[in-house]
A = this chain, B = another copy of it.
Amino acid sequence: MKVILAEKYGFCAGVRNAISTAEKVLAEKGRVYSLGPIIHNPDVVERLAQKGLVTVDSVEQIPAGATALIRSHGAALEEISHLRRKNVDIIDATCVLVKRVQQIAAQMEREGYKVVIVGDRNHPEVRAVVGCTQGAVVAGDEADIKTIGDGRLGIVCQTTQSPEFFGRMLNAIVITGFSEMRVINTLCKEAIKRQQAAIDLCLKVDIMFVLGGLDSANTRKLAELCKKYNSRTFHLQNWDEFDKKLVFGCRTAGVTAGASTPQWIIDEFVKKLENIEI
């Protein structure tokens, strides 16, 4: 069948940097600890695990004096201090855009703003940004906003959210009431371009495939967005999850992928999909 790739898709600069950093350090050290999965893609995590990357949930699990990688989502100040106390060699692969959010949040707090992070409170990026401040709060929905209170608000957004979500939360803040807010646009422009490219492609094809880890927030968001523009949208991790019944009656398929989806998974998927006879 005819397969069209989105104009922008797949690994972003932050993910690419985290992986190449991990590969370089693994080549030197043989064993490196990653505080949480390096990216939300099981295929990549598995491949790096074979090279010596050990994924742990907390600093406690990292031996004193070992080497630890801070993934692209970043880490909280408390975790960094804990690693230092354990004399762990820290390799920081935090995405530069995420680092910027952390720095802006901390700076605004020093300037007396009550810091609000618009995003998903369970996402590691958001948890790390909160962990770089004394008392930042997360606004994940309208109910959270009712609890923020009236003060000078310093507002940032999780990098991979959509402008629509960011705008909706600001709208809710205005309706709930505020005195002053300083809002810094911390959305990743690359992520927005991918979202736009995915929408454009959705409108041209019979069926849409969004490739990436089922735990990957940005891939899930991309799939939800595509679903709005093409109801025949499927979020698959890789070719193993493909079923020929899905494409019944379709002539053209669109393919996009989350920021944590490696090129080899996309290439394999596209090649095999092109070979499907319709």
Contacts and interface: CB of A to CB of B under 8 A. Distances in A.
B175 A164 contact: yes
A166 interface: yes
A171 interface: yes
B182 A180 contact: yes
A36 B96 CA distance: 55
Contact of A174 (B163, B175, B178, B180): B163
Contacts of A182: 180-183
A260 to B, nearest CB: 25
A109 to B, nearest CB: 16
A63 interface: no
Contacts of A180: 182-185
A163 B179 contact: no
A168 interface: yes
Interface string A144-181: 00000000000000000001101110111111011111
A5 to B, nearest CB: 25
Contacts of A173: 167
9 smallest CB-CB distances across A and B, nearest first, come from A167-B174, A167-B171, A171-B171, A181-B183, A163-B175, A170-B170, A182-B182, A166-B174, A167-B175
19 contacts: A163-B174, A163-B175, A163-B177, A167-B170, A167-B171, A167-B174, A167-B175, A168-B171, A170-B174, A177-B185, A178-B183, A178-B185, A179-B185, A180-B184, A180-B185, A181-B183, A182-B182, A182-B183, A183-B183
